[in-house]
Amino acid sequence: MFIEFENSIREILISPEFKVELLRKAGQLASLTSEGVEPNLTQIDFSKIDFTIEPCPKNIDSDLACNVCFVLAKILKSSLAIEIKPIELQALILALYAGTTFELSLGGDGYINAKRTSQFFKILLNKLLKQKPAAENIIDQLFSIQKLKASKSDDVQKLLAIYQQSGATNQVQARELRLVLLAAFAKVELDVNNYLNQVAGSENLPWYFKRFLEDSGKLQQEIAESFVIQDEFVDDKRAAPSWLLPALEVVCRYRYVELITLKTRRPELLVVLLIEALHAFYKFYNQPNCRALKAGTCNYSNLYWLIEVLKKLVTRDVIIT
């Protein structure tokens, strides 16, 4: 979600139209070059402007807030002696935004607020469905024994000793241990003895993830037998099961954290999100009437494809099936 909004803003900043309107606002159109760009603007690399995006407070009817107008106003003033107020830059950006994944609005004091549209979920999920897996998943790629050795958690040290002693000789056990190790390192509430003693339940994470694949597969089969499954996730305004939105939220955050993880090398954050997604699924799945599939109550094709995305993330980043 953050990345998609950031890309939308950057596309505007680097566009010739934005630079022309910027100069028009600054009253400097007279000296435009034949390429349509004022020479002094070339001193600024608009593609690398370092602005921030953060979640909106709960009392604001938007998802994200961006401070790009403050940052750009400061750069224009200090580098080029061009004085444009953040609120004026705000209006320029909103006028040039032509995307369909967010609804932009004027935030207080020059912030740009963004609210996701139903198109956002459609585009994101279809992109994830078509995404080919990497040769090596991120969790395996960034797993660091040295970082875990510094942990003061008894559970982490206990699991790490087992991993170093036997994990390397058994690929399946090694991946299971990495999953439980990262969850313990991230301070997820679980009793690691449930995994070590092979006790079935949500605190035995390898069992929990494999059980999810079985249960979600059964639900998909029931949906496919009862309804026509469309080729992809579609825009639909009908009501959805209570777990659908929380699960969508997890998928949105997962994409963002996945990209950040490559920089920060914190794969444990991905494990935490996947656990959260499974909790959301089972909150719905364990209800007595969850599989009482009633036509017209929701788009079951969308439900089918959301489950497919979650299964894909689990099989790609967590376990060997």
- C-alpha dist (Å) from residue 279 to 132, 145, 315: 26, 28, 17
Residues 112 and 131 in one domain: no
pLDDT per residue as tens digits for the range 68-84? 999 998 988 888 777 88
pLDDT, averaged across the chain: 80
Residues 304 and 191 in one domain: yes
pLDDT per residue as tens digits for the range 101-122? 888 988 887 889 998 887 777 7
DSSP conformational letter for 213: H
192 or 58, which is more confident: 192
Task: State the Cα–Cα distance between residues 304 and 316, nearest whole angstrom.
Answer: 18
**Is 167 part of any domain?**
yes
Average pLDDT of span 272-285? 86
Task: State the Cα–Cα distance between residues 234 and 123, nearest whole angstrom.
Answer: 9
Average pLDDT of span 217-243? 78
pLDDT of residue 36 exceeding 70, the answer is no
Q: State how far Cα 245 lies from the chain centre.
A: 13
68 or 40, which is more confident: 68
Task: State the Cα–Cα distance between residues 275 and 180, nearest whole angstrom.
Answer: 11
pTM of this prediction? 0.72
Average pLDDT of span 117-135? 75
pLDDT of residue 217 exceeding 60, the answer is yes
Residue 194: which pLDDT band, with cuts at 50, 70 and 90?
Answer: very high
23 or 32, which is more confident: 23
pLDDT of residue 29 exceeding 60, the answer is no
Count of the separate structural domains present in the chain: 2
pLDDT of residue 320 exceeding 50, the answer is no
Within 10 Å of residue 6's Cβ, how many Cβ atoms? 17
Question: Among residues of the chain, what percentage have pLDDT more than 90?
Answer: 16
Residues 112 and 139 in one domain: no
- β-pairing, 53-55 vs 112-116, is unpaired
pLDDT of residue 207 exceeding 90, the answer is yes
Residues 285 and 207 in one domain: yes
pLDDT of residue 237 exceeding 70, the answer is no
pLDDT of residue 212 exceeding 90, the answer is yes
Residues 299 and 179 in one domain: yes
Strand boundaries in the chain, DSSP class E = 53-55, 64-66, 102-106, 112-116
Q: Which of 116, 141, 167 is the last residue of a domain?
A: 116
For the ranges 199-208, 298-307, 311-320, the lowest mean pLDDT is seen at 311-320
Residue 206: which pLDDT band, with cuts at 50, 70 and 90?
Answer: very high
**Is 284 part of any domain?**
yes
Q: Which of 75, 97, 116 is the last residue of a domain?
A: 116
> Can you say whether the dihedral through the CA atoms of 236, 241, 246, 250 is positive or negative?
negative
The answer to whether 309 and 280 are in contact (CB under 8 A) is no
Q: What is the DSSP string of 94-107?
A: HHH---SSEEEEEP
* Domain range for 22: 2-116
Residues 92 and 130 in one domain: no
The answer to whether 139 and 271 are in contact (CB under 8 A) is yes
